[in-house]
Amino acid sequence: MNIEARSEEALALVNRILDAGELGARAQIATANASGNAGGKADGNGHDGIDIDIEGGDSALLVGRQGQCLDALQFLVGIIVNRRSDSRVRVTLDADGFRRKHRETLEATALDLAQQVIEHNQEAELEPLPARDRLIIHNVLKGHAGVYTYSEGEGEDRHVIISPKESE
C-alpha cells in the first residue's frame, strides 16, 4: 500500500477514535505549513511519515499533562497502522497545536541563543532535551551562517551545544 493510502487509513482510524470519544474534534492530514515534516514525505530515518492534526472540540483534552495523552495516542495509532504491514510508517499526531507551539518555542529559543553565541563568540549549552526536541534545534540552525550545533552527554543528560563558526 502506498503512503497516500496508508495516510487515509490512519486518518480514518483517528477520526473513528475521536467520534467514539464524542470529543467533537476532527483530524486532518497536516499541511506542510502546520508541521515541520508533513505531507507524507520521508523523514531522516528513511521511514515514510504521516502527520495528522486534531483540532476543534475537546482536542485540548487529548494533549494531557505535558503531552502524555497525545504521546500515548500517537504510540497506539502507530501500532495499529503498522500491524498488518511489512513496511513501517511513522505517525505523528498533533492536537490543539500542542506540538506546533512546542516546536515554535524551541525554534525561537534556538535562534535567540544563536544570536547570543555570535555576539559573545562563546558557545551556549541548552538544557537536556529528548531526541525529537534536539532534532528541532539542529534543524532550525542547520545552514546558519554564524553557528553550528552538536549534542553532548549520554541518555537523560544529552543536550545540544550551539557553537560559533570560526570566522574566516
Partner 1 sequence: MSTKAMLIEIIKGLVDDPGSVEVEEAEDRNGIVYEVSVAEDDLGKVIGKDGKIANALRAIAKSVTGEDDNRRVHVEIRS
Contact residues: partner 1, CB under 8 A: 13, 16-17, 19-23, 58, 61-65, 68-69, 71-73, 75-76, 79-80, 83
- Are 140 and 147 spatial neighbours (Cβ–Cβ below 8 Å)? no
Residue 13 or 161 having the CB closest to partner 1: 13
Q: How far is the CB of 43 from partner 1 (least distance, A)?
A: 22
Residue 73 or 117 having the CB closest to partner 1: 73
Residue 18 or 126 having the CB closest to partner 1: 18
Residue 65 or 142 having the CB closest to partner 1: 65
- Are 52 and 27 spatial neighbours (Cβ–Cβ below 8 Å)? yes
CA–CA dist 51, 31 (Å, integer) = 8
Q: How far is the CB of 45 from partner 1 (least distance, A)?
A: 20
Q: How far is the CB of 109 from partner 1 (least distance, A)?
A: 27
CA–CA dist 140, 142 (Å, integer) = 6
Q: What letters, b where the CB count within 10 A reaches 16 and e where it falls short, cover 97-134? A: bbbbebbeebbeebeebbeebbeeeeebebebbeeebb
Q: How far is the CB of 80 from partner 1 (least distance, A)?
A: 4
CA–CA dist 25, 30 (Å, integer) = 15
